[in-house]
Structure 1
Amino acid sequence: MWMSGLSGYGYEKVSTASPEGEGLLETEEEVESTMDGRPAVGRLYLLCLTISMGGLQVVWATVMAEGSAFLLSLGLRPYIVSLVWLAGPICGTVLQPYIGYKSDFCTHPWGRRRPFMIYGMCSTILCINLLAWTSEIVRSFAYLLDVKGDGCAAHITTQILAVMGIWALNVAIQPVQTSIRALIVDSCPGEQAAQANSFASTAVIVGSAVGYGCGVVRMPRMAGWVENAEFKGLCLVASVALGCTVAVTALVIEEKTFDGEELGPGREKFGVKGVWMDIFEAIRELPPTIRRVCVVQFFAWLAWFPFLFNIVVYLSKLYGHQILSESTGSSSTIYFQAVGVQSTQHAVMAMLLYSIVALMANLLLPHLISNSPSQASWQGKSISAPTRLSWFTLPRAWMCSHIITSICLFGATLGDCFMSSVVFVALLGISWALTQWAPFAIIMAEIAKSTSTPDPDKIELSLYPSSPSSSNTNHDEETQHLTGTDTFKSPTIRLRAGTTMGVHNIAIAMPQMLSAVLNSAIFWGCRQLGVDERETMAWVLRVGVLAGLGAAVAARGIR
């Protein structure tokens, strides 16, 4: 992947075995030194740093692709399933800022982030596999207690334990997600924070492709008493992916033992109330640009949440409806079951196409996006290279992605044609690529800008994701200057990256809670009116049309 030009580098002698370089810096005797005095890190280092984001995304892709279908197979009503997914945003809102805060002050010998990452990974692997085997566990205990394994009591117990498993899984994921994002900020010089995020966005998209791709592959047959064999196989694949990628990051990326006094004597607060008071103080101190990003994220995730958790079920029902309406064959139970399995596989294949489009967008958009005229003036540089569009800046690209989201969500829910819906869903991959890249790039660049006051003529910050076809010496990539009165300066915002990213996650999680409640109300209301489940899900997805337009309007405030 190309490394954006970072002018203002000096050169200093650095051992390739130094803690900061972790032996993965460029192999030359002299390595580039950034404005904050730390050596620039190499591509292999960035890959090892961010690869765990891909492993975590395999877990998310598995849950999003198969989770709703799994819960519905246990007999839960759609409106109850929608409420079950409140687990994610509630845990994200309550736990992620708290975990980020505690990791900022963690003095564990392993470092600040690694303990949360490793323990969270182990808990996530345990929870996702217990969730997949819930039915078999209940039947085993029923057998030991000499109770009917297929009776009403066992059925209700299975449903309750599955819901508890979803909550436990979402709790376990929070420390992994928080620590990885914070570690990316901690481990890179300020000038390379955005570049590291571009590696992370690529890892996330590849993880989605792996997760959805495995959903297309038929899993080996299991014993007849094993239910939901596909979901169990996918959970095992997700566990291996998460375990291996987190192991790479934990073993390669060294963290120094942290002295809590670096953030100021007595700065850490204890107790839930004290911690949250400090978090609210951090919210008030956020730079204006980060606040604006949070507003955009609030509207954006009102659209993304129902899509991510319902689109596979919607497409599978759309495909099944189309096949059954055209079929003149058998109407046996086995036939309907076969159609159901085939429908799910085609829906997951559509999501694989969506991930492939997202990956292509992540690699191609950097060659089109340019820096703004104000940033060019600030740096004394030309507006852009000839191959770029001078008006197509990162914030504008992000704004356009929300418009694309609205159009595609509307198009995907029109009519009964499965293939036309697949086309619109695949195009949503463009928006997803920017969702995984733009907000984090802007935030990390703002953190870097807020922690130092370098000479504008000596520094360029890249906001663009990496592309494997470009050269390491490309010095034309420049940051998007964010206009406004962003004069906020804090000597601790980088040290408190966990808290900052946790606050940003609140802006992502809160609209998901609102969306889950709204979706549940739509499911319940449509059921009372006799609307079929496929059309009900279409209305749930259409809510995202207005939310996407709201996000586009809010994004206009970022320059």
Structure 2
Amino acid sequence: MTYCTPYLLELGLTKSKISLVWIAGPLSGLIMQPIVGVIADRSKSRWGRRRPFMVWGTVAVSICLLLLGWTKEVVQAFVTDPEMVRGATIALAVLSIYGIDFAINAVQASCRSLIVDTLPIPKQQLGSSWASRMVAVGHLIGYGAGALDLGKIFGPMLGDTQFKQLTAVAAITLSLAVGITCWAVTERVLISDGKDEHGEQGAVHMLTSILKTAMNLPKGIAAICFVQFWAWIGWFPFLFYSTTWVGEIYLRYDAPAEAKQSGDLTGQVGRIGSMSLIAFSTITFLMSVMLPWFVKSPEDETPNFTPRPPASIASFVIEVEKYKPTLLTTWMISHCVFAGSMILAPFVTSLRSATIIVAVCGISWAISCWAPFTFMGVEINRLSSSNNHVYGHFTRDSIELETPVQLHLNHGPEEPPQNSTGEGSGIYLGILNLYTTLPQFVGTFISWIVFSILEPGKSPELAKEAHPDDTNSTDGPNGIAVCLFIGALSAAVAAVATTRLKRTHSY
């Protein structure tokens, strides 16, 4: 997110073409997450339903990350003509980004489903908030690495440029994190009792099943998806372009003349952008840690216990509980905070202001990484509980890895589910991801139009010399700032949709 846009600009792509490259994200999410979710839901691998996808997806991501970092060297090993080298380098870089996006979606789908699968309803908010904290820690470490001069730390061991070393660090870290998760989490293994009427289903049947489910979503899940759709039209330009925007603000208004003549503008923009995202990630982490303590969890329909604080602080705790906002109210406020920040983007004229605006968005991002998945986890497990009571017995079992005890994905009326089974979690979370990725197509289209009109040539801030396509200078409006402004308007719609969800649903 920090370095790829400047890297592609340095290779010679225009912003309008780069906006089309980033369609890889929504395209991969649209295809991979629902399909992986359905396959994993029905997988009877002895390693678990989610683990194989996490492992093989991580291997693919790591290979593509390293290929992206060493694109020029790989191409030059096979091609010698300078013009062909340039074209092939751009093509391989774009293919590597597509490979990363498609593979990481398999990993993400499996990780999120793992949380829903293994936690009971009362702990869904706690699980999602911990996931948000870990995302914030990962961002903080990643952006911190981007802001440091890794060449001085690692020397030539991980590569001779900042970008190469970052891709190597990312690949190693992802592999370690997924490896620890696969080792530590006890996952259910799906087994068949021989009466599985679905059997092995082909790709067409699978896609039909996904489409049918998406068109007939339960009311609660549909409402959550609607909010997510509008929110992500706003988040898309922020996540992909905010660091480049901060770097361009620096080059346009604050950078000394010698900095603009530097031979490594990509590194400069990346480091300056990373500093702003360190502030963003710090705020995200702090909010992820603190907010769950001050926000009411979505009420469980059948609570298993009533919290009993110590008598000495009982009156204080009870009084505080009265004033805690609900998670839904907090989600709505987060949309307003994001919209209020991004609407200022076209008017920013200093690096400090740009950094402050990006940092404030960390509040909204912490809640956006937490709230929708909490609500989805609660809804999915409520549906599982309801279906289990309606349909009675089961056709499939599940067993815990490394334990001899059989647990049922479906429970009979005499056997109310005490733990989350996450039945259907893969497909429902995959559909939530559809509503996360579809707006990214909208965002890509908006970005393409804005860049085509305002910055049809190379980025004026990053162009080292005059270019025939450059019809604008740094005096004109910044294209990314305009995209962020449009995203703010979409976030305002998401806030209204969240308010409607609060009136019509039981949270």
- TM more than 0.5: yes
Match of 2:390 in 1: none
Q: Does residue 334 of structure 2 align to residue 392 of structure 1?
A: no
What is the aligned counterpart of 2:375 among 442, 460, 481? 442
When residues 267 and 365 of structure 1 are mapped into structure 2, their CA distance, relative to the original with a 3 A threshold, is same
When residues 340 and 107 of structure 1 are mapped into structure 2, their CA distance, relative to the original with a 3 A threshold, is closer
2-structure distance, mates of 1:375, 1:396: 19
Deviations 1:203-249 (A, max 9, x none): 1111111111111110116999x998111111111111111111111
When residues 385 and 366 of structure 1 are mapped into structure 2, their CA distance, relative to the original with a 3 A threshold, is farther
What is the aligned counterpart of 1:503 among 431, 455, 476? 431
When residues 330 and 291 of structure 1 are mapped into structure 2, their CA distance, relative to the original with a 3 A threshold, is closer
| CA apart distance, 1:188 | 2.1
When residues 374 and 200 of structure 1 are mapped into structure 2, their CA distance, relative to the original with a 3 A threshold, is closer
2-structure distance, mates of 1:380, 1:140: 67
Match of 2:226 in 1: 295
When residues 209 and 523 of structure 1 are mapped into structure 2, their CA distance, relative to the original with a 3 A threshold, is same
Alignment of 1:142-153 (within 5 A): 142=79, 147-148=80-81, 151-153=82-84
2-structure distance, mates of 1:253, 1:530: 54
What is the aligned counterpart of 1:519 among 437, 447, 462? 447
Normalising by the residue count of structure 2, what TM-score does the alignment of the two structures yield?
0.81
What is the aligned counterpart of 1:169 among 91, 96, 100? 100
Contact 1:351 1:425 in 2 (8 A): yes
1-structure distance, mates of 2:249, 2:240: 16
What is the aligned counterpart of 2:483 among 535, 540, 543? 540
Contact 1:519 1:540 in 2 (8 A): yes
Contact 2:243 2:274 in 1 (8 A): yes
Match of 2:276 in 1: 350
Q: Which runs of 5+ in 1 are unaligned?
A: 1-63, 455-488
Amino acid corresponding to residue 156 of structure 1 in structure 2: G
Q: Does residue 234 of structure 2 align to residue 234 of structure 1?
A: no
- Corresponding residue SS for 1:304: helix
Deviations 1:299-332 (A, max 9, x none): 00000000110011110011112234xx4x658x
When residues 377 and 255 of structure 1 are mapped into structure 2, their CA distance, relative to the original with a 3 A threshold, is closer
Amino acid corresponding to residue 430 of structure 2 in structure 1: G
- Corresponding residue SS for 1:356: helix
Deviations 1:470-517 (A, max 9, x none): xxxxxxxxxxxxxxxxxxx9x998222111110110000000011112
| CA apart distance, 1:95 | 1.6
2-structure distance, mates of 1:494, 1:198: 18
Contact 2:277 2:358 in 1 (8 A): yes
Match of 1:530 in 2: 472
Contact 2:332 2:498 in 1 (8 A): yes
Contact 1:372 1:383 in 2 (8 A): no
| CA apart distance, 1:284 | 4.3
Amino acid corresponding to residue 497 of structure 1 in structure 2: S
Match of 1:159 in 2: 90
Deviations 1:394-430 (A, max 9, x none): 1011011111111111223313111012111111000
Amino acid corresponding to residue 472 of structure 2 in structure 1: G
Contact 2:68 2:167 in 1 (8 A): no
What is the aligned counterpart of 2:180 among 248, 266, 286? 248
Q: Does residue 14 of structure 2 align to residue 71 of structure 1?
A: no
Contact 2:221 2:379 in 1 (8 A): yes
Q: Which moved more, 1:364-373 or 1:273-282?
A: 364-373
When residues 280 and 339 of structure 1 are mapped into structure 2, their CA distance, relative to the original with a 3 A threshold, is closer
| CA apart distance, 1:96 | 1.0
Q: Which moved more, 1:355-364 or 1:407-416?
A: 407-416
Contact 1:371 1:384 in 2 (8 A): no
Q: What RMSD over aligned residues (CA atoms) do the two structures have, in Å?
A: 3.1
1-structure distance, mates of 2:226, 2:160: 40
- Corresponding residue SS for 1:109: coil
What is the aligned counterpart of 2:347 among 414, 417, 423? 414
Amino acid corresponding to residue 337 of structure 1 in structure 2: G
Contact 1:384 1:390 in 2 (8 A): no
- Corresponding residue SS for 1:387: helix
Contact 2:254 2:350 in 1 (8 A): no
Deviations 1:163-201 (A, max 9, x none): 111111111112111111111122223332332222111
2-structure distance, mates of 1:531, 1:551: 35
Contact 1:178 1:501 in 2 (8 A): yes
Match of 1:337 in 2: 263
Alignment of 1:342-381 (within 5 A): 342-370=268-296
Match of 1:258 in 2: 190
Contact 2:129 2:370 in 1 (8 A): yes
Amino acid corresponding to residue 161 of structure 2 in structure 1: A
When residues 341 and 91 of structure 1 are mapped into structure 2, their CA distance, relative to the original with a 3 A threshold, is closer
Contact 1:370 1:384 in 2 (8 A): no
2-structure distance, mates of 1:378, 1:187: 17
Q: Which runs of 5+ in 2 are unaligned?
A: 308-314, 388-416, 457-470, 503-507
Contact 1:372 1:390 in 2 (8 A): no
2-structure distance, mates of 1:172, 1:372: 32
Normalising by the residue count of structure 1, what TM-score does the alignment of the two structures yield?
0.74
2-structure distance, mates of 1:97, 1:404: 31
| CA apart distance, 1:369 | 2.2
Amino acid corresponding to residue 271 of structure 1 in structure 2: G
Amino acid corresponding to residue 116 of structure 1 in structure 2: F
When residues 274 and 383 of structure 1 are mapped into structure 2, their CA distance, relative to the original with a 3 A threshold, is farther
Deviations 1:277-308 (A, max 9, x none): 11123234533111111000000000000011
Amino acid corresponding to residue 404 of structure 1 in structure 2: V
Contact 2:159 2:165 in 1 (8 A): no
Deviations 1:333-389 (A, max 9, x none): 8x4336764443122111010010011111222343246899999999999832356
2-structure distance, mates of 1:277, 1:496: 15
Amino acid corresponding to residue 251 of structure 1 in structure 2: W
